[in-house]
Amino acid sequence: FLEGKRALVTGSTSGIGLATARALRAEGAEVVLNGFGHAGEIAKLCEELGATHSGADLTDVAQVEAMMAEAGDIDILVNNAGMQHVAPVEEFPVAKWDTIIALNLTAAFHTTRLAVPAMKRKGWGRIINTASAHSKVASPFKSAYNAAKHGLDGFTKTIGLELAEFGITANCISPGYVWTPLVENQIPDTMKARNMTREQVINDVLLVKQATKKFVQPAEIGALAVFLCRDEMQNVNGANWSIDGGWTAE
């Protein structure tokens, strides 16, 4: 049902973004990929999805602007690229703070401001921002990430209001822990910050609040993104969709 629509999914060379790109493609959308990775693997993904790819570093405004100019009119914008860093606030590297705010929050502002004119012209658009359970609740040692994700929720509500009369919706998808490299890579630092073993981090930190006791699968996020693109979802706007096994219900 998405034939004739063009989707840009940021951070789609891995994890949730890749699963979302695959799900949108399966419904017929034309897909533009973005993210880092090995050139050969990215070329394979482009072939699999009939997609183009931008290697823009989204922490750099000029690169975001070049990506958006190259991508053309975007009907479905998925702001998904993000990174994590785990450290106590007084030791939190200043450069990491700046990068995380730039990638997890500011990049979504830039892609949105550049995508909206075409969406308004066409009278249809979907903006889907991958936030996090950490856009609703916090946990320690993730100050930059939690600040950025709470900010992304506020940004999404704001543009949802601004764009509502133009056939454009803006929503957040907020996963709990999804088994991707982003989660796997934070285990060593969490072990250090909390003085725990790997098994303790998985069971007593990552899955402790996820009532299902299961990691969310990337494809489940892709399915929700596709659902939000349906015309029947035209009044679902400015919402923040938890997909966290019940974590934030408590």
Active-site positions? 145
7-15, 24-32, 158-166, 229-237 -> range binding ligand NAD (CB under 6 A): 7-15
Pick between residue 58 and residue 163 the one whose CB is nearest to ligand NAD.
58
Q: What is the distance between the alpha carbons of residues 164 and 161, in angstroms, rounded to a whole number?
A: 5
Residue corresponding to tokens 């219900």? 249
Q: Which of residues 57-96 bind ligand NAD (CB under 6 A)?
A: 57-59, 80-83
Pick between residue 132 and residue 156 the one whose CB is nearest to ligand NAD.
132
Query: Mask: binding to ligand NAD, 104-123, rule CB under 6 A, as x and -?
Result: x-------------------
136-144, 179-187, 197-205, 227-235 -> range binding ligand NAD (CB under 6 A): 179-187
Q: What is the distance between the alpha carbons of residues 197 and 194, in angstroms, rounded to a whole number?
A: 9
11-19, 44-52, 154-162, 232-240 -> range binding ligand NAD (CB under 6 A): 11-19
Pick between residue 2 and residue 172 the one whose CB is nearest to ligand NAD.
172
CB 85 within 8 A of CB 92: yes
Q: Does 180 bind ligand NAD (CB under 6 A)?
A: yes
Q: Does 160 bind ligand NAD (CB under 6 A)?
A: no
Q: Which of residues 217-246 bind ligand NAD (CB under 6 A)?
A: none
DSSP character at residue 217: P
CB of 34 to ligand NAD, least distance (A): 6
Which listed residue (7, 14, 111, 155) binds ligand NAD by CB under 6 A?
Answer: 14
**What is the token pair recorded at 104?**
């997890």
Closest by Cα among 179, 171, 125 to 152: 171
Q: Does 178 bind ligand NAD (CB under 6 A)?
A: yes
CB 4 within 8 A of CB 32: no
CB of 103 to ligand NAD, least distance (A): 5
Q: Is 134 left (phi over 0), alpha (psi -120 to 50) or beta?
A: alpha
Angle at 160 between CA 171 and CA 148, to 5 degrees: 60
Burial of 18 (0-12, 13-18, 19+ CB in 10 A): buried
Give the other-Cβ count within 10 Å of 21's Cβ: 30
Q: What is the distance between the alpha carbons of residues 151 and 101, in angstroms, rounded to a whole number?
A: 9
- Contact residues toward ligand NAD (CB under 6 A) are 11-17, 34-37, 57-59, 80-83, 103-104, 130, 132, 175, 177-178, 180-183
